[in-house]
Amino acid sequence: MARLPRLTLADMPHHVIQRGNNRQPIFVDRADHEKLLGLMAENATRFGIALHAYVLMDNHFHLLATPNNTTGLPQFMQSVGRSYVRYFNDRHGRSGTLWEGRYRSTLIQTDRYLLTCMAYIDLNPVRAGMVADARDFPWSSHGHYAGLRHDRLLTPHPLYWELGNTPFAREAAYVDLVRSGVRTADQTALTEATLRGWAAGDGDFLDSLQKATDRRVIKAKAGRPPSKPSPE
């Protein structure tokens, strides 16, 4: 069965996952993390990508990004991916692929899932047992939103600005949001939608989205389509 084209629309947030081949590590040390972030910063400007959140795990990474055109996100991921593989192979004396095939992505409903997706991304190292608190992990966007550092790579989404009238209020509100965790149902919905390429949102959002694209936005129902009634 042919793979569906990725669902990518301009001016809407997308959750992206890219994994290492066979779950192998894609970072060895600090220099590798910094190289990938540098490539992202360079190519985000080049291809019109507003990057809202990220986390670099040992063998995969997550992004939350809004492209300003329909081709920007695939071009961004291709350019970053190819450049990083060349760098990684040269630096570590290896050859061959680094990624597990195509990156996975989903388009998410902004008001329903954007802040939840940011928290989901930030909590990856906590769920993996790497740190006890998201603020302790150096390779995610959480430090920026928690007021611990400034990250030039990031473009805060308007929903983040609505968390408070001052930087301190926004930072405190966001830290509380992340500490509250992500509901299991939301975590499952975001993970499955991203890995399978379906949009994540409520029924009205999905209906509206389907009118904007010829590509199916949700999984087709199993079985044959219902037969038309026979004329009497």
Tens digits of pLDDT across the chain (232 residues): 445 667 888 999 999 999 999 999 999 999 999 999 999 999 999 999 999 999 999 999 999 999 999 999 999 999 999 999 999 999 999 999 999 988 999 999 999 999 999 999 999 999 999 999 999 999 999 999 999 999 999 999 999 999 999 999 999 999 999 999 999 999 999 998 898 888 899 989 888 888 877 777 877 654 444 444 444 3
Q: Is residue 40 part of a domain?
A: yes
Q: Is residue 208 part of a domain?
A: no
**pLDDT the model gives residue 214:** 76
Look up the domain containing 136 and give its range: 14-202
**pLDDT the model gives residue 3:** 58
The H-assigned helical ranges of the chain are 30-47, 72-92, 110-122, 124-127, 142-145, 158-161, 167-180, 184-196, 203-211
Q: Is residue 214 part of a domain?
A: no
Q: Is residue 132 part of a domain?
A: yes
Q: Letter for the amino acid at 82?
A: R
Query: Token digits for 185?
Result: 């149902």
Q: Is residue 211 part of a domain?
A: no
Report how far residue 198's alpha carbon sits from residue 107's, in angstroms, rounded to the nearest whole number: 7
CATH, residue 38: 3.30.70.1290
**pLDDT the model gives residue 1:** 41
β 104-107/14-19 pair status: antiparallel
Q: Is residue 117 part of a domain?
A: yes
Structural domain count, the chain = 1
**pLDDT the model gives residue 150:** 95
